[in-house]
Each structure stands twice: as structure tokens, then as C-alpha cells.
Structure 1
Amino acid sequence: MTIPGSMADVSPQWVEECVGRGKLKNINLVPMGEGVGMMSSMSIIELTWENSKDLPSSLVLKLAAENDTNRAVSQQFNLYLKEVSYYKDLAPRTTARSPRVYASEIDEEHNFFLLMEDVSSYRMGSQVEGATVEECELCVDFLVNLHASFWNQLSDVEWLPTMSGSDNATNMALGCEAGWPQLQEIFGEFVPDTIDAQREQYLAAIPNLQAQLDQYPKTLIHGDFRMDNMLFGQEPGHDALLVVDFQGPLKGNGIHDVAYLLSHSAKTEVRREHERDLIERYANGLINAGIKDYSVEKAWNDYRIGVLYSWTVAVVIAGTLDPANERGFAWMSKMVERNGTAINDLNCLALL
């Protein structure tokens, strides 16, 4: 199937081929808002059919990023290949909801497309505003479902990188080291002095942190579980939560997703007041889902490691990507500020 080089290459005939049925009278592409799809280019395609019975009135198209800096990072980490592969191979194995994909393709040059269900009637979370406790609870429940679906069941998925000892792990460590100067240059006012003072110790510890988050039991890690990828149901018939952007999935300890959510996206006051309850909710949810080998105590200890390792991700994002616009800068600065505060609150530097 042909991969459009840009949104301008999309035609009614191409959409018809992807959907597999129906005859279109017209299409209209509406670019999605500022700050949406930072690593990709995204548009809503409004569809006018000759006979619209049982056919979607709109779809979402996702292509490779137009921003050269962000596209290069996407290629380095195989983000597009992993997302296409997730929807083809893994989405059918879980009831944790993500948008339905009508068609997808990727080539050796990392050109790709995903033609997906339009879920723009859902409310997108805001990493700038930060997650409430109610939103955190919905997200933790989603992770219980996602992680339980793949608990120690990924040995056959060869394209999925491991948290440690993989090219992805090496790139994260190198990206953290290379990105720290830009982090300081652009976001320095949000970086705690306590963390910057231990830069070299932190960089040296990254492989060990990765290894600690790559021990049995292993499951599917979403890898970018932040508020801008959460879509909250608003209407009758909506799911309570849909999650998008599966460009960074990994094999490893699922607590990484929980730590990433709470230290990057939760309002700081919400995290401080409710994080122990939320960790208990996660561990007990797994037990109720039939997972018997992950205690609350183990989850809490791993959570602190996850919060500390989340700084690696924060540095790679803020230190190597182009914020592109004011909203990009706003959510990145909140991510850095919240993660640094959480590391200090939980005395995570003592784990180095």
C-alpha cells in the first residue's frame, strides 16, 4: 500500500483503498492542534461518502514528523516501526483500549502511516495542567489491564526491545549524556541543583537502573505514558480511557509506566498526597487480575527506581528534541520540574 509523502498526497481513492469499501465524494484534511503529535504529523480526515451507512465520518492519519530534528530522533529509536508493530501484533492481545487502526505501513526509510479511528470527541489530558487524582486512578487501572495482558508473555515478540542490554537502552544512555547540556541551556531553571551536582554519578548509573527495571516479572511497557497521550471519555458509549502513541514500547517492569506517569504528569501536590495509595492500587489491581508474584512492597521499591530512571527519559526528551512551539516548551518544562521534585521528595538519589 502506498505511503503518502505528506498530507497533500492523500486522495479519496487512497482512503477508499485503506478502508476497503465505500465510494467517497470528497475528503477534507484538518491538521491537528499545536503540540499534538510532536514526533509525527497528524490530521483529521473528514469523509463524505456516497452512501455513509456503517462507514466512518472521519479518520485520523498519522505520518512521519515534518520537523527534521524530531524525525531523526524517531528514526534513531525506531519509534515508527514500533508503533506500527504494536497495532499489528499486540493490540489484538489486550482489552486495554487504543484507537482502531484501519490500515498501516512502513518502509525501510522510516516513512510510515497509520490510518486510525477518530477519537477527537474524547478529552485529551494535559501534561501542562497536570493529572488529578481521579485521572491518575483511571490511568493506573488502564495500566493494570495492559500489564496483566502481557505478564511474562512476550518472549515471542522479537521486535520489542528490552529495558536493558538493547540498542534502545544504549541510545537512552547516550541521549541522556548528549542531551544534558541542552537541558540546562533551555530548561535549567527547572533542574534541581541536587540532581545537576550528581550528573556524572547519574550518567554512570543508567545501565544499572535499566537492569533493575528489566528483571522478572516482565510485561509490556507503554514507554511514553503521559497525559497528552490519554483520552478521557466524555459521551455515552465512550470508554473511560483510551491511550494513544505506542511509539516507545519495551519489555520490562511495568512499574516504569506508573513512575513515568506520576513523576512527569501528575500534579505535584496530587503525587505527594496520593502516590502510596496509587502504588497500592496498581499492585492490588494486578493481584485481582490473577498476578500473584508482585507485592505492594516490591512495587513501592521499584517505583522509586522508576522515578529516578524517568529522569533519563526527561533529559532525552528535553535535551534532544525541538520544543517547536510554546506548548511544547510548556509541557517539557513541567515534566522536568515535576520529575526533579519527585526525585528529591523520595530521596531517589540515594539509590545511585
Structure 2
Amino acid sequence: MPEIREWKDIDADWLTAALKEDGIDAKVASFEAGKVGTGQIGDCVRFKLDYERAGPDAPKTLVGKFPSEGEESRATGRQLWNYYREVKFYQLLQPDARISTPHCYFTDVNEETHDFVLMMSDMAPAEQGDQLAGVTLEEAKLVLNEAAKLHSAYWEDEKLDEYDWVMGTTHAPDVMDPDMVAGLWDGFKARYCDRVTPEATRVGDALSSNMDKYHASRDGAKCLIHSDFRPDNMLFDLSNTKKPVTVVDWQSFGYGPGGTDVGYFISGALDPKTRQANENALIDLYLSQLSVLGVSDYDRSDFLRHYVAGAYQHFFTAYFAAMLVTQTTRGDNMFFRMLNGAVDLISDHDALDLYG
């Protein structure tokens, strides 16, 4: 098995060995490598391969994922088990998850340091979604179909609760101390000052000081959820009728209510007017597809409670991540797109004081 390396230390022999792990008989002669994507916690690199010998199943390109070169982001990935969790997803859960993901050629993680490597299929010409630009209504419908696939695959599957690396399980470590959550929110307000609206302040003050109420609102049927279900973690190619959407970045998945993924996605991916005009139809689409896939007992009132909780989770992720990853201009703009979209959905559902 190839050893775990930083992407700049990878050579042709290593790539040959990685492909062999997936049963591909080929010999890489040379390659070009360069970063792709806009990840905050992990870095993605495209490898363009030239072969000395290759069969028809040898890929022309690969995309590898590695720990972030930014020290703050890398420390966060380790502290929150993001790196470890993603490797475990591809090793153990991805084969039965139904949702469209890249093919994994090779992945491994150091159990102690959480250094890792993940070599995947290159989904080009599919393009990464953009949280700042959002998605079209057609794209949103495709994404919700993928959400239904994922949630139905592990619906109320109690085996997930046995894993300590799945967020939200009985055995998962509590990595979010309440004092830290409140402190990060205070730091966020201090850093961004007037950019934080009065409505956002109202939501954040209540949420950060009442996390027990937030967790209680997520009670109910559980399944495998992505937990960071947003455009930046999706690849779109609508010309590919078999795989128009591919979902990536499995660093934060958990055992929780499916509706939270839906609220999380819709609150940040659609502009408020488009969401307001199409929200009920999108919810109907998701629940209908879930039923087609064998889940017909998701009560709508429970779903809506989870849906709003998903918007709160979107808000929480925005300020929490903003204070823990390496700060960039795009990152700041993205986090505020997430924050304000969540506030709009929460307000429209008369839930501004849900955790107050």
C-alpha cells in the first residue's frame, strides 16, 4: 500500500501503486499536478497522467485530496476529525450510500495524526458549485433528488450509531464545547462588526447560548446526512444525464435528521425570492422522492422542524468555520452569504426566537 504523503511529495511510482490498489494494471511515466477547487479545510489537486503502460481502465487524470496547507485550517481538520471521517466514509459507507460521489481509487489515514490522502476520479467537465452564485431552480431539484438517495440509503440504520467517527452518534466525541461555541460567536461579532445585521445578531445570540434546545429540535428519525450540503461541495454537469450532480467533501457527515440537509442547502443556495416562490414545491419533491425510495413515514411537521434546524445549522457553520479556518476575502463573502440566507429562511418561518 502506498504511504501517506503530502501532494508535493507524490511521484510516478506512488501514483502507479495507488492505481494498483484499485486493481488497475498501469505504470505512470510522468505527470503534472496543480491545485483545483476552493476548499477551506482540505486542498484538492488534479494529476494529469502520462503512462509507460496502461489499459483502457486507466484514468487520464485523478483528483487527490490532502490536508490544507493553511495551518489554521489543518489544525481544525484534525481537531474536528474532518480528515479521518472522510476517509472512513469512502472506505466503509460510500458503496451503499446511493448518492452520486466520485469513484475512490485509493485512500488512507494515519489513525494518530489524521494525516490522509484521498485519490478520486476527476469529474471534469463537471464544475464546482459556487456558494456565492447559488444554484438554479433546475439544479436545486437535482440536488434534492440526491439528498433523498442518501437519506433513504441509511434511514434509521442504527448500525451508524456504533461508529465514533460519525457525528451525532452515541459514541462520537463532543468536540464542540459550549463555551467555545459562545466565544467564537462573540469573536465573530467583534471581527465583522456592522456587517452582522441586527437579525443575525438576534439569531446568533440565541443559538450560541442555547445549544441544548438546538439539539433537542433535531430529535426524530435519523439517517446518514452530509451536514455541509451546499453548492461548494457539489459538482454540476447538466449535460451528463446519468450523473448531473456529484456530491463531494464528506468531512462532516453525521447521523441525524434528513430535513436538516434540505434546510441547510436551500437556505444558502437559493436567493430569498426564488426560495419563497418555490419552497413548498421543492419540499414536496424531496418528500415524494424519499417515498419512492422506500421512506414514507417522514411526518411533514417533523420534517419542517428539522428543515428550520438545518437553516440554523447553516448559520452556525458559517460563523463557526469563519473563525477557525484561514481567513480569505472569498471565505468571508461566502460565510456571510450562508449566514444571511439562513436568517432569511428562519425569519420566513417565524423562527427567529426558536432557541431564545
Query: Would the alpha carbon gap of residues 256 and 173 (structure 1) be closer, same or farther in structure 2, given more than 3 Å must change?
Result: farther
Which residue of structure 1 aligns with residue 66 of structure 2? 63
Query: Would the alpha carbon gap of residues 292 and 322 (structure 1) be closer, same or farther in structure 2, given more than 3 Å must change?
Result: same
Percent identical: 24
Query: Would the alpha carbon gap of residues 175 and 281 (structure 1) be closer, same or farther in structure 2, given more than 3 Å must change?
Result: farther
| CA distance in structure 2 between the aligned counterparts of 1:315 and 1:260, rounded to whole angstroms | 14
- Say whether 1:92 aligns with 2:98: no
Which residue of structure 2 aligns with residue 276 of structure 1? 280
| CA distance in structure 2 between the aligned counterparts of 1:190 and 1:85, rounded to whole angstroms | 38
Q: Is the 8 A contact 1:63 1:113 kept in 2?
A: yes
Deviation digits for residues 188-246 of structure 1, max 9, x if unmatched?
A: 44433134246543223212212321x33110010111101111124456512100000
Give 3-state SS (helix, strand or coil) of 2:66's partner: strand
Report the Cα offset of residue 96 of structure 1: 1.0
AA aligned to 1:17 is A
Which residue of structure 1 aligns with residue 267 of structure 2? 263
| CA distance in structure 1 between the aligned counterparts of 2:169 and 2:182, rounded to whole angstroms | 17
Which residue of structure 2 aligns with residue 51 of structure 1? 53
AA aligned to 2:298 is Y
Report the Cα offset of residue 293 of structure 1: 1.4
Q: How does 1:209-220 map to 2 (within 5 A)?
A: 209-213=214-218, 215-220=219-224
Give 3-state SS (helix, strand or coil) of 1:171's partner: coil
Which of 148, 152, 160 is the equivalent residue of 1:148? 152
Deviates more, 1:52-61 or 1:77-86: 52-61
Q: Is the 8 A contact 1:206 1:309 kept in 2?
A: no
AA aligned to 2:92 is D
Q: Is the 8 A contact 1:40 1:64 kept in 2?
A: yes
Which residue of structure 2 aligns with residue 103 of structure 1? 106
Give 3-state SS (helix, strand or coil) of 2:352's partner: helix
Which residue of structure 2 aligns with residue 112 of structure 1? 116
AA aligned to 1:253 is P
Which residue of structure 2 aligns with residue 191 of structure 1? 196
Which of 202, 208, 219 is the equivalent residue of 2:213? 208
Deviates more, 1:128-137 or 1:160-169: 160-169
| CA distance in structure 1 between the aligned counterparts of 2:273 and 2:54, rounded to whole angstroms | 48
Q: Could you tell me the TM-score, scaled by structure 2's length?
A: 0.90
- Say whether 1:323 aligns with 2:331: no
Report the Cα offset of residue 318 of structure 1: 2.0
Deviates more, 1:84-93 or 1:300-309: 300-309
Deviation digits for residues 39-66 of structure 1, max 9, x if unmatched?
A: 1122100000123332100101111111
Query: Would the alpha carbon gap of residues 273 and 92 (structure 1) be closer, same or farther in structure 2, given more than 3 Å must change?
Result: same
Which residue of structure 1 aligns with residue 9 of structure 2? 9
| CA distance in structure 2 between the aligned counterparts of 1:217 and 1:228, rounded to whole angstroms | 27
AA aligned to 1:124 is Q
Which residue of structure 2 aligns with residue 38 of structure 1? 40
Give 3-state SS (helix, strand or coil) of 2:187's partner: helix
Q: Which runs of 5+ in 1 are unaligned?
A: none
Q: Is the 8 A contact 2:266 2:275 kept in 1?
A: yes
Give 3-state SS (helix, strand or coil) of 1:342's partner: helix
Which residue of structure 1 aligns with residue 142 of structure 2? 138
Report the Cα offset of residue 134 of structure 1: 1.4
Deviates more, 1:153-162 or 1:50-59: 153-162
Q: Could you tell me the TM-score, scaled by structure 1's length?
A: 0.91
- Say whether 1:19 aligns with 2:19: yes
Q: How many equivalent pairs are there?
A: 348
Deviates more, 1:233-242 or 1:111-120: 233-242
